[in-house]
Amino acid sequence: MISVLVTGANGQLGQCLKDVALNHKDIEWVFKTSKELDITDPKSIQTLFDQKNFDYLVNCAAYTAVDKAESEKEKTFLVNAEAVKYLAETCNANNAVFIHISTDFVFDGSKNTAYQEGDKTNPINVYGASKLKGEQYIQEILDKYFIIRTSWVYSEHGHNFVKTMLRLGKERNEISVVSDQIGSPTYAKDLALLLAEIIESQTTAFGLYNYSNEGAISWYDFAKAIFEQSNLDLKVSKTTTENYPTPAKRPSYSLLDKSKIKKALKLEIPNWKDSLDKVLIKISE
């Protein structure tokens, strides 16, 4: 039986992976929250591996507060880079495959076509820089790894853009959303299904991959779709990033090209609208 350790079990992706694990009973899943496993402590990671010989380590743990990261640089790099190094070293010492989640924020957004895995990285905020450093550690230490760069993650779990919009839709009659940042949302459950597929197939197509749902939209388009698909009647107007300043800069264009992962794993990736429908049904239940 394949045995898998999952860190960050309380996050959106961790919780979606728990949901997906119910249909993958041929895999032995061990889920650890940040309280149960401190990934910034190399000893605690190795202790777990001493107790059990894991075949895979899926790292869903991360410091994801993008704006707060600007003032908490040390903490951000500790979780997103140094801890990732410890996890990679432990995988290396124990011959385990490392699956790590990264971000579109490793790019600066200056392109106007979808980013491919080999494109030049140039993060414009602390969060993106810390995630890039984590990627680099993995590539230096390991041969057997999957780094999955994703974007705009949301789900029925935790805090995210969809849930914020639904809340605001009930509280307000009008809302402004930025229309000059382009990318693609990712339903965390679609990503979790991909991770389960990588593990179950035991593919050796190791490397760096992009994954998000299909389609290119702005945050404004996404908000409009959330309200329309939820039958919430409020006015959504466009605004610019300049009119909505945040501590961390965001890439204006961070669409990810998924052709590499589709080819390697013979994947069909759902369109963002179809996945949004699924989430809205889950939330309404």
Pick left, alpha or beta for residue 148 (phi over 0 → left; psi -120 to 50 → alpha; otherwise beta): beta
**Segment holding 52, helix H or strand E:** none
Separation of alpha carbons 128 and 108, rounded Å: 9
Q: Does the active-site annotation cover 253?
A: no
Q: Is residue 178 classed as helix, strand or coil in its secondary structure?
A: strand
The three-point CA angle 28-29-33 to 5° equals 160
What separation in angstroms does the CA of 50 have from each of 47, 85, 93?
Answer: 5, 18, 11
67 contacts 249 by C-beta, under 8 angstroms: no
Q: How far apart are alpha carbons 235 and 227 in whole angstroms?
A: 9
Lookup: tokens for 101: 């989640």
- Going 31 to 33 to 36 to 42, the CA torsion angle's sign is positive
Q: Which of 56, 86, 127, 154 is catalytic?
A: 127
Contact 45, 186 (CB under 8 A): no
Q: What span, in angstroms and rounded, lies between the C-alpha atoms of 80 and 84? A: 6
CA 265/CA 209 separation, integer angstroms: 11
Give me the DSSP letters along 86-107.
HHHHHHHHTT-EEEEEEEGGGS
CA dist., res. 145 & res. 98, Å (int): 5
Helix (H, G, I), strand (E, B) or coil at 210: strand
Active-site residue set:
127
